[in-house]
C-alpha cells in the first residue's frame, strides 16, 4: 500500500498551493512488525518537511507584507537577497530573508544606507522561542548532554549538542532575571492578605577548578501564600547579578507588598533570613525550623537508647533522662528556650556521673551524649530569638517546619547539581541552572498545557 501526504496552503489573498510532503509505502505481503505504522525516522522526516513548507511560506508572506509602506502604501524596494537559518523544534529551515530599503516617502536625513530586515526583527536569536524553552526546560531537568540527546532522539531539531542547550538555558535565565527586575508590587485583595511564608535553605555543590573555594553555595526557597500555588526560587549568590531582585520577585508574585508580614523559616543559618530581609527592605519574622530542632532531640534520644543497651547496673540517671528529654521536647515545642537550655544543662550534669556509677566502659558513649547536648544547647542559644511557640502555630495550621523546603533543596539543587553528579559548576552556570530549574518546576517556563511531564 502507498500513502501520499500532501500539504495544502492557502495564502491570505486566496491562492492555494499544494506540496507533496512524503510518500509512505508498505508491502502488502510479508509485513514485518517494524513496518506497522510510521517509524520514528519517517515521522521526524514528515514533521521536518511540513515545518519547512510552513515556515518558508510564512516568511515569504511576512516579507511581502513588510514591503508595503504603512504611510504611503507604496512598495519598498528590496536592497539585497540573503538567506537565513531558523532553528525550530521541528527542524532547521533556510529561508529567503531580503533586506528592504526605506520607502521613498521617508526622510532619511541624508543617510543612504538604511535598510530593514523583517526577519531579524521577528526572530533576533534565529531560533523559535518554543525551541529555546524546550531546550532550557530539558537542560534544567537533565545534564546538557542528555537533554541534547533526548531532543535529537524524538524531534527533527538537529543538530543538537550540549553547548547549544547550555547557551539557550543561559539566555532563558538572563530573561528571567530581567523579568524579575521589572516585577512591581501590586495591591492585593483583602482575601489574599495574611502571612507570607518563605522556606529557605542552602545546598553546596562542587565548584569548577580555579574557583576560590572548592564548593559553591546555592540558595533555594519556596514562597507560600494562602490561596496560591507555591513559587520557588533558586540562585547561586556568587553567580547572580541581582540576587535580591530574584528573591523579591518571588515574594511579589505571591502578593507581597510593603507592610505585609513575611515569615522566614530556616535552619538557623543567619544569611538566609537576612537575604529575604534585605530583598524586601523590611524586617521579617524569623522562625527556627522545628524539623531541625526535633532531629537534634532525636539524636540525643538515640544516644540515650545506646546507653540503655549497654545494661548499666544503676539505671537511675537514664530513667531521669527519659523523663527529661520528653520535657525538653515539650518546652521547646511551646517556645520556652530558657527552660530548654536549663534542662539540657541538667542532663549534662547527670550524665557526667554515669561512668562513676557504672564503670569506665561508659566513658566514651557518655562523651558522645554530652557532645550532642552541648551542640543543641549552643543551637538554642544562637537562635533563641527564632524559637517560637510551635504548638500555637501548629494549632493555627501555620507552617512550623522547612521539611517542605528541604524537598525544595532536593528538587532544585540536589537532583541536578548534587556532588554525586560529579559535575563542577561555575558560579554563573550554577545560578542559571538553579534559576531555570525553579521556573521549570513551577511551570513558569512553558505556556500552560504544554509543560513536560515531570
Ligand atoms: Zn512610504
Q: How far is the CA of 118 from the centre of ligand 1 (A)?
A: 16
**Cβ atoms of residues 394 and 334 within 8 Å:** no
Q: Are 284 and 295 in the same domain?
A: no
Spatial separation of the C-alpha atoms in residues 359 and 365, rounded to whole Å: 12
Q: Are 105 and 9 in the same domain?
A: yes
Bridge partners (DSSP) listed for residue 9: 17
Q: How far is the CA of 122 from the centre of ligand 1 (A)?
A: 21
Answer yes or no: is 274 within a domain.
yes
Entry pTM? 0.82
Q: Are 175 and 285 in the same domain?
A: yes
Q: Name the residue among 341, 336, 370, 337 with its Cα closest to residue 353.
A: 370
Answer yes or no: is 391 within a domain.
no
Tell me which of 122-126, 217-221, 396-400, 449-453 is least confident: 449-453
pLDDT top residue among 166 and 354: 166
Structural domain span for residue 345 = 291-386
Q: How far is the CA of 230 from the centre of ligand 1 (A)?
A: 52
User: 452 pLDDT exceeds 60?
Assistant: no
Q: How far is the CA of 74 from the centre of ligand 1 (A)?
A: 5
Residue 333 confidence class, pLDDT cut points 50, 70, 90: very high
Q: Name the residue among 108, 103, 58 with its Cα closest to residue 78.
A: 103
Q: How far is the CA of 107 from the centre of ligand 1 (A)?
A: 10
Give the pLDDT of residue 19. Answer: 92
pLDDT digits (tens, 9 = 90+) for 29-71: 888 888 899 999 999 999 999 999 999 999 988 888 889 988 8
Q: How far is the CA of 254 from the centre of ligand 1 (A)?
A: 48
Give the pLDDT of residue 337. Answer: 92
Cβ neighbours around 21 below 10 Å, total = 17
Q: Are 150 and 263 in the same domain?
A: yes
Q: Name the residue among 207, 257, 127, 106 with its Cα closest to residue 429.
A: 207
Length of the chain, please?
A: 454
Answer yes or no: is 423 within a domain.
yes
Answer yes or no: is 396 within a domain.
no
Q: How far is the CA of 124 from the centre of ligand 1 (A)?
A: 25
Q: How far is the CA of 99 from the centre of ligand 1 (A)?
A: 16
Last residue of a domain, one of 99, 123, 147: 123
Give the pLDDT of residue 97. Answer: 87
Answer yes or no: is 392 within a domain.
no
Q: Are 302 and 359 in the same domain?
A: yes
Mean pLDDT of 274-279: 93
Q: How far is the CA of 241 from the centre of ligand 1 (A)?
A: 44
pLDDT digits (tens, 9 = 90+) for 73-109: 888 888 888 899 999 999 999 999 888 888 888 777 7
Q: Looking at the 3D structure of the chain, how many domains does it have?
A: 3
Answer yes or no: is 395 within a domain.
no
Give the pLDDT of residue 188. Answer: 62
Q: How far is the CA of 104 from the centre of ligand 1 (A)?
A: 6
pLDDT digits (tens, 9 = 90+) for 172-204: 999 998 888 887 777 665 555 678 999 998 888
User: 401 pLDDT exceeds 50?
Assistant: yes
Residue 448 confidence class, pLDDT cut points 50, 70, 90: very low
Answer yes or no: is 394 within a domain.
no
Give the pLDDT of residue 140. Answer: 92
Q: Are 16 and 113 in the same domain?
A: yes
Q: Are 239 and 100 in the same domain?
A: no
Bridge partners (DSSP) listed for residue 264: 198, 286
Spatial separation of the C-alpha atoms in residues 100 and 84, rounded to whole Å: 15
Q: How far is the CA of 106 from the centre of ligand 1 (A)?
A: 6
User: 449 pLDDT exceeds 50?
Assistant: no
Last residue of a domain, one of 123, 158, 176: 123
User: 450 pLDDT exceeds 60?
Assistant: no
Q: Are 271 and 325 in the same domain?
A: no
Give the pLDDT of residue 54. Answer: 94
Give the pLDDT of residue 259. Answer: 85
Give the pLDDT of residue 109. Answer: 75
pLDDT top residue among 191 and 15: 15
Q: How far is the CA of 76 from the centre of ligand 1 (A)?
A: 7
Q: Are 244 and 329 in the same domain?
A: no
User: 436 pLDDT exceeds 90?
Assistant: yes
Spatial separation of the C-alpha atoms in residues 391 and 397, rounded to whole Å: 10
Q: How far is the CA of 232 from the centre of ligand 1 (A)?
A: 50
Residue percentage of the chain with pLDDT more than 70:
94
Q: Are 204 and 135 in the same domain?
A: yes
- Mean per-residue pLDDT over the chain, rounded: 87
Tell me which of 90-99, 224-233, 273-282 is least confident: 224-233
Q: How far is the CA of 7 from the centre of ligand 1 (A)?
A: 36
Q: How far is the CA of 10 from the centre of ligand 1 (A)?
A: 28
Mean pLDDT of 328-334: 94
Q: Are 242 and 309 in the same domain?
A: no
Q: How far is the CA of 63 from the centre of ligand 1 (A)?
A: 16
In this structure, which residues have their CB less than 5 angstroms from ion ligand 1?
A: 69, 71-72, 74, 103, 105
Answer yes or no: is 356 within a domain.
yes
Q: How far is the CA of 368 from the centre of ligand 1 (A)?
A: 86
pLDDT digits (tens, 9 = 90+) for 349-387: 888 888 888 888 888 889 999 999 999 999 999 998 999
User: 417 pLDDT exceeds 50?
Assistant: yes
Q: How far is the CA of 77 from the centre of ligand 1 (A)?
A: 11
pLDDT top residue among 416 and 437: 437
Q: How far is the CA of 102 from the centre of ligand 1 (A)?
A: 8
Last residue of a domain, one of 123, 140, 164: 123
Q: Are 338 and 431 in the same domain?
A: no
Q: How far is the CA of 95 from the centre of ligand 1 (A)?
A: 26
Q: How far is the CA of 67 from the centre of ligand 1 (A)?
A: 10
Give the pLDDT of residue 158. Answer: 67
Q: How far is the CA of 105 from the centre of ligand 1 (A)?
A: 4
Give the pLDDT of residue 302. Answer: 92
User: 454 pLDDT exceeds 80?
Assistant: no
Amino acid at each position: 500500500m502507498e500513502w501520499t501526504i500532501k500539504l495544502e496552503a492557502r495564502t491570505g489573498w486566496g491562492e492555494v498551493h499544494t506540496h507533496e510532503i512524503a510518500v509512505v509505502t508498505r508491502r502488502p505481503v510479508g509485513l514485518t512488525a517494524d513496518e506497522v505504522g510510521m517509524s520514528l525516522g519517517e515521522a521526524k522526516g514528515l514533521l521536518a518537511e511540513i515545518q519547512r513548507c510552513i515556515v518558508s511560506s510564512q516568511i515569504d508572506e511576512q516579507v511581502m507584507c513588510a514591503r508595503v509602506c504603512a504611510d504611503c502604501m507604496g512598495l519598498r524596494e528590496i536592497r539585497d537577497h540573503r538567506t537565513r537559518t531558523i532553528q525550530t523544534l521541528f527542524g532547521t529551515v533556510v529561508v529567503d530573508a531580503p533586506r528592504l530599503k526605506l520607502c521613498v516617502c521617508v526622510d532619511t536625513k541624508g543617510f543612504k544606507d538604511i535598510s530593514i530586515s523583517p526577519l531579524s526583527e521577528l526572530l533576533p536569536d534565529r531560533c523559535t522561542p518554543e525551541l529555546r524553552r524546550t531546550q532550557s526546560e530539558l537542560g534544567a531537568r537533565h545534564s546538557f548532554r542528555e537533554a541534547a540527546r533526548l531532543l535529537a532522539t524524538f524531534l527533527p531539531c538537529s543538530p543538537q549538542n550540549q553547548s547549544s542547550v547550555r547557551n539557550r538555558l543561559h539566555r532563558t535565565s538572563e530573561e528571567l532575571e530581567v523579568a524579575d527586575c521589572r516585577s512591581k508590587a501590586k495591591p492585593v485583595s483583602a482575601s489574599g492578605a495574611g502571612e507570607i511564608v518563605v522556606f529557605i535553605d542552602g545546598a553546596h555543590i562542587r565548584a569548577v577548578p580555579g574557583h576560590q573555594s572548592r564548593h559553591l553555595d546555592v540558595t533555594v526557597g519556596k514562597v507560600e501564600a494562602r490561596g496560591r500555588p507555591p513559587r520557588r526560587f533558586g540562585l547561586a549568590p556568587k553567580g547572580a547579578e541581582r540576587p535580591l531582585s530574584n528573591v523579591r520577585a518571588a515574594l511579589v508574585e505571591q502578593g507581597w507588598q510593603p507592610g505585609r508580614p513575611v515569615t522566614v523559616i530556616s535552619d538557623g543559618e543567619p544569611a538566609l533570613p537576612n537575604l529575604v530581609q534585605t530583598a524586601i527592605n523590611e524586617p521579617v519574622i524569623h522562625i527556627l525550623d522545628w524539623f531541625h530542632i526535633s532531629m537534634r532531640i532525636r539524636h540525643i534520644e538515640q544516644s540515650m537508647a545506646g546507653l540503655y543497651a549497654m545494661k548499666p547496673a544503676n539505671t537511675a540517671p537514664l530513667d531521669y533522662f527519659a523523663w527529661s528529654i520528653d520535657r525538653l521536647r515539650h518546652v521547646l515545642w511551646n517556645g520556652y528556650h530558657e527552660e530548654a537550655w536549663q534542662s539540657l544543662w541538667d542532663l549534662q550534669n547527670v550524665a557526667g556521673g554515669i561512668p562513676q556509677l557504672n564503670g569506665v566502659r561508659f566513658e566514651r558513649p557518655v562523651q558522645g551524649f554530652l557532645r550532642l547536648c552541648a551542640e543543641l544547647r549552643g543551637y538554642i542559644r544562637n537562635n533563641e530569638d527564632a524559637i517560637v511557640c510551635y504548638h500555637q502555630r501548629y494549632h493555627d495550621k501555620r507552617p512550623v517546619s522547612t521539611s517542605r523546603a528541604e524537598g525544595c533543596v532536593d528538587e532544585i539543587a540536589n537532583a541536578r547539581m548534587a556532588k554525586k553528579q560529579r559535575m563542577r559548576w561555575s558560579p554563573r552556570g550554577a545560578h542559571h541552572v538553579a534559576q531555570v530549574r525553579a521556573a521549570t518546576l513551577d511551570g513558569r517556563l512553558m505556556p500552560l498545557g504544554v509543560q513536560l511531564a515531570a
